[in-house]
Chains A and B, each alone.
Chain A
Amino acid sequence: MERRLLFQDELLAFIHEPARLVLLSHLAAVKKTDFVFLLNSTELSRGNLSVQMSRLEEKGLVTIEKVIKNNRPCTLYQLTLLGKKALRRYKKQMLNLLQELPV
């Protein structure tokens, strides 16, 4: 309920969750990365990371690609155009919000 007051946009409210925000930030900084790298970079648990990536894919913010790298199965993640635009809008809205803080 509180997020809807902050963000009129449901997608931005969805991004506002800390774990998802950290994951999207990391994906925005690279072209593609895999599960293991995100696990090391974000220090989220395996279960939480898996769940969050699935949710991000459901919203169309991330694509998931399963490949074989060096004879090992690998799950690669990439931020979609929608994901990049949503993250930009989120950043802009948060900066506006912070500038209006009365402290």
Chain B
Amino acid sequence: MFSSKSQVERGIVRSFWDDGLIDILAGIVVLLIGIAWKFDLVPLGAVAPAVAIPLWKPLRAWLTEPRLGHVEFSDRQTNQFRSYLVWSFLIGCLTLVLGISLYFYVVKTESALPPHRWVAAIPAWAFAFLALLTSLVILVRRFVGYATVFLLLGVVVLVFEQRPELAMLIGGMFVTIIGVFRMFAFLRSHPRQPVQMNGA
């Protein structure tokens, strides 16, 4: 999945993904999952990714492509991105199953937290792992920063015996805000290109 790439290829992959859009969508998804958990609607958190993922392509076609241009990656590269999506889906499902289990445990036992408080940190650490995986695939270093933030938020949840959604609310907001700043920077530095005529 992480085969070595030439410097040119790395630059192309990085510039393709570095418009801020994936940050904004990922941040909103995490934020919505956190909100769902906050109001004890944990299964509803699964709706957020299902809605956000299909939005990426039309938003990219509207915002990014008129400015950055269009690129089709090779079959090898496309398979790499697909593998990443599969792994993300699996990790997301595992986190959701954990969340639902936690939810039913809390409801059944009427306790604020599970017996082992580190369990509450798992969702944040799952997002940290996802962010790290993302950085390796799309080669945008900012996601290493996001991974660090979620890792630290998991520690905060653990140390201060907080509920899991705290990490998702703070982390989701952080990623969304950074994504918005990145998007603005991208739009400023990439003006909309005139309609192409004769390739010029």
Contacts and interface: CB of A to CB of B under 8 A. Distances in A.
Contact of A34 (B70, B73, B197): B70
Contact of B199 (A33, A35, A40): A35
A32 interface: yes
A93 interface: no
A29 B12 contact: yes
Contacts of B190: 40
Given A31-B73, A33-B70, A36-B68, A25 B8 contact: yes
Contacts of B9: 29-30
A1 B128 CA distance: 58
B69 A54 contact: no
Given A35-B199, A46-B200, A72 B69 contact: no
Interface stretch (A5-13, A73-81, A95-103): A73-81
B8 A36 contact: no
Contacts of A74: 70, 196
Interface in B100-144: none
Nearest to A67: B70
- Which of A36, A66, A74 counts the most chain B CB atoms within 10 A? A36
A50 B193 CA distance: 15
Contacts of B196: 34-36, 72-75
B6 interface: yes
Contact of A36 (B69, B75, B77): B69
B195 interface: yes
Contacts of B4: none
Nearest to B197: A73
A40 B66 CA distance: 12
Contacts of A34: 69-71, 196
Interface of A: 25-26, 28-41, 46-47, 49-50, 53-54, 64, 66, 69-70, 72-76
Interface of B: 5-6, 8-9, 11-12, 15, 61-62, 65-75, 77, 190, 193, 195-200
15 contacts: A26-B8, A29-B8, A30-B73, A32-B71, A33-B69, A36-B68, A36-B69, A36-B70, A39-B69, A41-B12, A50-B200, A69-B61, A69-B65, A70-B62, A75-B199
